[in-house]
Chains A and B, each alone.
Chain A
Amino acid sequence: MGLGRRLYRGEIDVDFVGRRKLWYSLSAFLLLFSIAGLVFSAATNGSPLNLGVEFKGGSVFTFAAPQATIEQVRETMTDAGVHQPIVQQAGSGWRVTTETLDEANLTKVQESVATELSVDPKQISITSIGASWGGEVANKAWIGLGVFMLAIILYLSMAFEPKMALAAIVALVHDLVITAGIYAWSGFEVTPATLLGFLTILGYSLYDAVVVFDMIKEVTAKLGTTSKKTYTMAANDALNHTLIRSLNTSLVAILPVAAILFIGTTVLGAGTLKDLSLALFVGMLVGTYSSLCVATPLLVTLKEREPKYQAIARRLASTGGGKGGTKRAAVAKN
């Protein structure tokens, strides 16, 4: 039976938890790779991430001038007294990034673009950011992140148990670091919209983990001294059981994001849509992987240390109960 077919029928049996070592090494490699990227980028570009104007300060002019050439646009800017314009083209639109200009110079550039490129001045979009503003946005994001993690740890500790909360949060940090690493290596610009994306990833990554943990909790609740399964096996069964749902969910969640990414890059050029969806796209892929291969194995590692489950494991090992046995556990009935 083909894999697609087995997926469709929900008969899938992958020993996720048994391959813990593999996932841990893969994640360790990815984390190191990401941190190396951040360090390398900091060493070469002076900043671990390629921060957008919103964080560094600067002015951005967006306008449509279909007939203009890139040289013309650049010349228009330097004529108006801009030192080092960064000119990007998207469709028929132009996006020019400059140093932070004061009001007089903003107006000067606006007039210069209007006359030399014959653009209606009312159709020129201008964003100007003071350098201190980005720092404030970033600070707020960090505070938000901290509060968010605390709130989630508390909530999951109540809804499930502290160990599950811990595993979920570790997976979450793992996702963030790897996403940041991808941004560092690729040089994608980090804007407030990107931050938005990062923060959303948190939600998703947890959301996934919550559904898996919910099933694990249900399946492992029945484990007692006489049970024929170790915590590892039970967790693995639960994971396989929700695998279809996890893959379905991730796919269903990524589809709209991919749509935004597509629209954002083709129709609108650089901008909020693209920045956000790119972060989400990368983050969701990492998040799906981590909820299956990081959060659950980590939880199992934590739980297997508990005397109760150690006892079960010892008993099964002595009676020759399957290591890595993957017989499907009957789903709990109430």
Chain B
Amino acid sequence: MARPTSGQSKPGRTLLVLLALILAMGGAMFLQPAFTPKLGLDLAGGTTATLSPNTPNGTPPSEESLNLAVNIIRERVNGTGISDAEVAKSGDNIVISVPGADKDEVIKLVGTTAELRFRQVLAADAAQPQPSTMPTQAPTPSSSAAPSGQPSGSASTTPSVQPSANAPKPSASPTGKALSSALTSPNPSPSATAPARANDAKANDAKANDAKANDAKANDAKANDGKANNAKGNDPKATPSATPSADPAQDPSLAGIDPALIKQYNELDCAKNSGLGVQDDPAKPYVTCDQDGTVKYILDKAEVVGSDIDTASAGVQQTTGQWVVQLDFKSAGASAWSALTTKAYQAQAPRNMVAVVLDGVVITAPNINEPIPGGRAEISGSFTQESATKLADQLKYGALPLKFVRSSIDTISSTLGNDQLMGGLIAGAIGLGLVVLYSLLYYRGLGLVAVLSLVVASIITYEAVVLLGTYAGFGLSLPHIIGLVVSIGITADSFIVYFERIRDEMKEGRRTLRAAVEVAWVRARRTILIADAVMFIAAIVLYFLAVGGVAGFAFAMGLTTLIDVLVVFMFTKPFIALLARLKFFAKGHKLSGLDSERMGPETVRTTTPQEA
């Protein structure tokens, strides 16, 4: 190996550093452990849908409204229990990627625009008992906030709304969704007034909001046919538990409600179909669940809609130190809101609640403690900062509704994905093989250096792709593969530039090979850096100004360019510097690619085979 050099370079040391880097990356792969790249949907099979915002006057949507829309679609995705689905912004568009080629599922997720409505509650009931097999990842807030089961008298346990100008009424510390005892007790009594805490009351904190009550089985009801809540195929277990035998018609709380709605309500199984993503008609009453799937409601028609909201914000109520949500209505909305709260205030429970319906499900149903004129309201309950902020954002979406058009939907079957992957890999292998063959023929001994450099570059690229997949969620897609294959040429070119420079130096015939290697490097380095910089600029511009596949391609090109610089500096050059000490190269053996036949100023030999 290397003798200590007197020269300006320490090739051995550089190579060791590079080796350490490769091993470190390999070690990181072992830690995971991950040895194969994460595949994008076009290679693994799956569905991608792109939504473009459709604003009335064609102006680009605000960042905030886009973020809210992304969150709502994320809620939908989580609500359906699809695993590994991704919702991401891409410029002004939203891209939803779902593994597994079921386009109907995705269309259901993205087919409707989320709307916000305020509806008076007509009836409420505990939803289906929790499925015995709760998803393991769902937190169980009840363990920390175990309901005591005692009627809590006057203390309201639901969130309540009051004019924010007034001093807020502190609400009870334990929280839960109160259900009128009339509905929760097996034998409904006509005089249901004192709200009791239902046994499945859930702490209204943020963790509970994320709890997925419905099991991860996708429901098969079509959300797009308008009749969202006809849970199909009711099995015996799916009858409402709260009113097993009571005839709903006798239940006073259900008085005056269209029997068809009551039937729908009785058959509704929140675990199967919570109504998430349904576009409810504001002019009609509506049957749905709350977002956790623990309570079901019959709701009156929407007297106030999302576009009536001016703004919403979360904050701490000065006097009580509690987190509350402030809600401001536009002038037209304010009078409608005043009328709605007056109506609710005068009604018996549960009709004293106004449900806020977002994207088809009830996100909160506060009690109305007094009529609220003036267009400013404050929702209190036992909010945490997180849950208050979330509710404020959800309400704000009503003020910034964003309609989307589905720009594209792309379903790749697993076989096609597999074919594309194989095709890309085979093309890469053939391309690499041809470049190797050519380098060996043309550069002979030096070609071996080129081949080894390509091998090193390939190893580093593979490690980088695997690690990016593991740590950054980078999914390898077809454009990436194409980008990598196309970049083989760029990588190989750096070696060619350097080799040609070395040959130039040798042709002069004034230097030893060892000196030529160093002088040529200084020159080649500049060319390589400028040329790679041009490629890198191209990659960056494409990455930031492109959509979809182009960005992936650009990313691969940029990555390769960086790796190319790394390999040339840390492998090719030091490796040649080492080789230059070998007799085989230094004396210009015929197979070294630096032979005198090749380098000599004039020659008369004609016996060498011809290559080009």
Q: With an 8 A cutoff between CB atoms, is A264 at the interface?
A: yes
Asked if B347 is an interface residue, CB under 8 A from chain A, the answer is: no
**Chain A residue at minimum C-beta to C-beta distance from B111:** A103
Contact B411 A127 (CB under 8 A): yes
Which residues of the other chain, A, contact B526 by a CB distance below 8 angstroms? 214
Q: Is A321 an interface residue (CB 8 A)?
A: no
Indicate whether A326 reaches chain B with its CB closer than 8 angstroms.
Answer: no
With the chains together, A140 CA to B503 CA distance in Å?
44
Say if the beta carbon of B412 comes within 8 Å of chain A.
yes
Interface contact B535-A252, CB-CB below 8 Å: no
A-B contact pairs, 6 of them (CB 8 A): A62-B416, A125-B411, A207-B493, A252-B438, A252-B496, A262-B430
Given contacts A103-B224, A203-B535, contact A196 B550 (CB under 8 A): yes
- Whether B482 and A7, one on each chain, are in contact in the complex, defined by CB atoms closer than 8 angstroms, is no
Interface residues of B in 493-523 (CB under 8 A from A): 493, 496-497, 500, 503-504, 507-508, 519, 522-523
- A246 CB to nearest chain B CB (Å): 10
The answer on a CB contact under 8 Å between A147 and B541 is yes
Do the beta carbons of B442 and A248 come within 8 Å of each other? yes
Which of B410, B423, B496 contacts A267, CB < 8 Å? B423
Does B541 contact A8, Cβ atoms closer than 8 Å? no
Question: What's the tally of chain B residues with a CB closer than 8 Å to chain A?
Answer: 83
**B527 is contacted by which of A143, A195, A214, A264 (Cβ under 8 Å)?**
A214
User: Which residues of A come within 8 Å of B, CB atoms?
Assistant: 2-5, 7-10, 54, 62-64, 93, 103, 106-107, 110, 122-130, 132-133, 136-137, 140-141, 143-144, 147-148, 151-152, 155-156, 159, 192-193, 195-196, 199-200, 202-204, 206-207, 210-211, 214-215, 218, 241-242, 244-245, 248-249, 251-260, 262-264, 267-268, 271-273, 276-277, 280, 331, 333-334
User: Once the chains bind, are A263 and B535 in contact (CB under 8 Å)?
Assistant: no
Asked if B550 and A148 make an inter-chain contact with CB atoms under 8 angstroms apart, the answer reads: no
Shortest distance between the CB of B524 and any CB in chain A (Å): 10
Residues A148 and B415 in contact, CB atoms below 8 Å apart: no
* Cα separation A3 to B612 with both chains bound (whole Å): 9
How far does the Cβ of B455 sit from chain A's closest Cβ, in whole Å? 16
A189 to chain B, nearest CB (A): 16
The reply to whether B497 and A245 form a contact with Cβ atoms under 8 Å apart is yes
Shortest distance between the CB of A59 and any CB in chain B (Å):
9
Closest-CB distance, A66 to chain B (whole angstroms)? 12
* A25–B115 CA distance with the chains assembled, in angstroms: 63
Q: Which residues of A contact B534 (CB under 8 A)?
A: 152, 155-156, 203, 206-207, 210
- A272 adjacent to B549 (CB under 8 Å): yes
Tell me whether B586 is interfacial, beta carbon within 8 Å: no
Q: Which residues of B contact A143 (CB under 8 A)?
A: 545
Interface-forming stretch among B100-108, B333-341, B572-580?
Answer: B100-108
Smallest beta-carbon distance A264→chain B, Å = 7
Among A103, A123, A128, A263, contact of B423 (Cβ-Cβ < 8 Å)? A263
A155 touches B533 (CB 8 A): yes
How far is it, in angstroms, between the C-alpha of A264 and the C-alpha of B478 when the chains are bound?
A: 12
- 20 further contact pairs, Cβ within 8 A, besides A128-B408, A155-B537, A207-B534: A3-B612, A10-B500, A128-B409, A137-B548, A140-B546, A148-B541, A196-B549, A196-B553, A199-B550, A207-B490, A211-B527, A214-B531, A248-B493, A249-B496, A254-B489, A255-B438, A259-B430, A260-B424, A272-B482, A272-B549
B538 lies within 8 A of chain A by Cβ = yes
A249 to B494, CA, bound (A): 9
Q: Which residue of B lies closest to A206 (CB)?
A: B534
Chain B residues contacting A206 (CB-CB under 8 Å) are 534, 538
Chain A residue contacts of B407, Cβ below 8 A:
129-130, 132-133, 136
Assess the B611–A4 pair: CB atoms within 8 A.
yes
Chain B residues lying within 8 Å of A203, measured Cβ to Cβ, are 534-535, 538-539, 557
- B103 and A137 contact, CB distance less than 8 A: no
Q: Which chain A residue lies CB-closest to B519?
A: A334
Contact with A along B233-271 (1 / 0, CB 8 A): 000000000000000000000000000000000000000
Residue B461 CB within 8 A of the other chain: no
- Complex Cα distance, B541 from A121, in Å, reads 39
B478 adjacent to A272 (CB under 8 Å) = yes
Q: B434 contacts which chain A residues (CB < 8 A)?
A: 255-256, 258-259
What CA separation (Å) do A136 and B104 show in the bound complex?
Answer: 25
Q: For A127, give its contact among B408, B426, B503, B530 (CB under 8 Å).
A: B408
**Nearest CB to that of A267 among chain B residues?**
B423
Task: Decide yes or no whether B145 CB sits under 8 A from chain A.
Answer: no
**B493 close to A249 (CB less than 8 A):** yes
Establish whether residues A256 and B500, one from each chain, have CB atoms under 8 Å apart when the complex forms.
no
Q: Which residues of A contact B102 (CB under 8 A)?
A: 122
Q: Which residues of A contact B548 (CB under 8 A)?
A: 137, 192
Residue among B416, B420, B442 having the largest count of chain A Cβ atoms under 10 Å? B416
CA distance A129 to B49 in the complex (A): 10
Residues of B bordering A, CB below 8 Å: 50, 52, 91, 101-104, 107, 111, 224, 405-416, 419-420, 422-424, 426-428, 430-432, 434-435, 438-439, 442, 478-479, 482, 485-486, 488-490, 492-493, 496-497, 500, 503-504, 507-508, 519, 522-523, 526-527, 530-531, 533-535, 537-539, 541-542, 545-550, 553, 557, 598, 603, 610-612
* Minimal Cβ-Cβ distance residue in A for B487: A256
Main secondary structure of the interface of A (DSSP, over half): helix
| A260 engages B427 (CB within 8 Å) | yes
> In the bound complex, do residue B503 and residue A126 qualify as a contact, i.e. CB atoms below 8 Å apart?
no
A211 to B489, CA, bound (A): 14
Using CB atoms, name the residue of chain B closest to A133: B407
Instruction: Name the contact of B413 in the complex, choosing from A63, A252, A267 (C-beta under 8 A).
Output: A63
How far does the alpha carbon of A159 sit from the alpha carbon of B409 in the complex, in Å?
44
B103: A residues at CB distance < 8 A: 106-107, 110, 126
Q: Is the CB of A264 within 8 A of B408?
A: no
Given A127-B410, A155-B534, A256-B432: A273 touches B438 (CB 8 Å cut-off): no
Contact A125 B413 (CB under 8 A): yes
CB neighbours (8 Å) of B490 from chain A are: 207, 253
Cβ distance B557 to chain A, nearest Cβ, rounded Å: 7
Q: Which residues of B contact A331 (CB under 8 A)?
A: 504, 508
- Bound together, the chains give a CA A132 to CA B504 distance in angstroms of 55
Q: Is the CB–CB distance between A8 and B598 below 8 Å?
A: yes
B431 touches A259 (CB 8 A): yes
What chain A residues lie within 8 Å of B427 (beta carbons)? 256, 259-260, 262-264, 273
Closest to A250 in B: B489
Report the bound CA distance from A167 to B551 in whole Å: 28
User: Do residues A148 and B500 form an inter-chain contact, with CB atoms below 8 A?
Assistant: no
A8 pairs with B546, CB closer than 8 A: no
Q: A9 vs B489: C-alpha distance in the bound complex, in angstroms? A: 22
Bound: A111/B111 CA distance, A: 20
Min CB–CB distance B370 → chain A (angstroms) = 46
Question: 3 closest pairs, A vs B, by CB?
Answer: A256-B431, A253-B489, A133-B407
Q: Are B489 and A249 in contact (CB under 8 A)?
A: yes
- Asked if residues B537 and A144 are in contact (CB atoms below 8 Å), the reply is no
- In the complex the two chains form, what is the Cα distance from A251 to B489 in whole Å? 8
- In the complex, chain B residues whose CB is within 8 Å of the CB of A4: 610-612
Cβ of A195 to closest chain B Cβ, rounded Å: 7
Contact between chains at B549 and A263 (CB < 8 Å)? no
- B residues in contact with A141, CB < 8 Å: 546, 550
Chain A proximity of B565: nearest CB distance (Å): 14
Answer whether A252 and B489 are a contact pair too, CB < 8 Å, given A140-B546, A155-B537. Answer: yes
Which residues of chain B are within 8 angstroms of A106 by Cβ–Cβ distance?
Answer: 103, 409
A195 to B553 CA separation, bound complex (whole angstroms): 11
A123 touching B538, Cβ below 8 Å: no
The interface residues of chain A lying within 8 Å CB-to-CB of B101 are 122-123, 125
In the complex, chain A residues whose CB is within 8 Å of the CB of B538: 148, 152, 199-200, 202-203, 206
| B residues in contact with A202, CB < 8 Å | 538
B485, A260: Cβ atoms closer than 8 Å: yes
A125 touches which of B104, B416, B439, B539 (Cβ 8 Å): B416
> Do B406 and A130 touch (CB < 8 A)?
yes
* Interface pair A255/B431, CB less than 8 Å apart: yes
Q: Pick the residue among A122, A195, A210, A242 that contacts B550 (CB under 8 A).
A: A195
- Taking CB atoms, residues of chain B closer than 8 Å to A215 are 527
The reply to whether B479 and A272 form a contact with Cβ atoms under 8 Å apart is yes
Q: Considering the chains assembled together, what is the distance between the CA atoms of A103 and B111 in angstroms?
A: 9
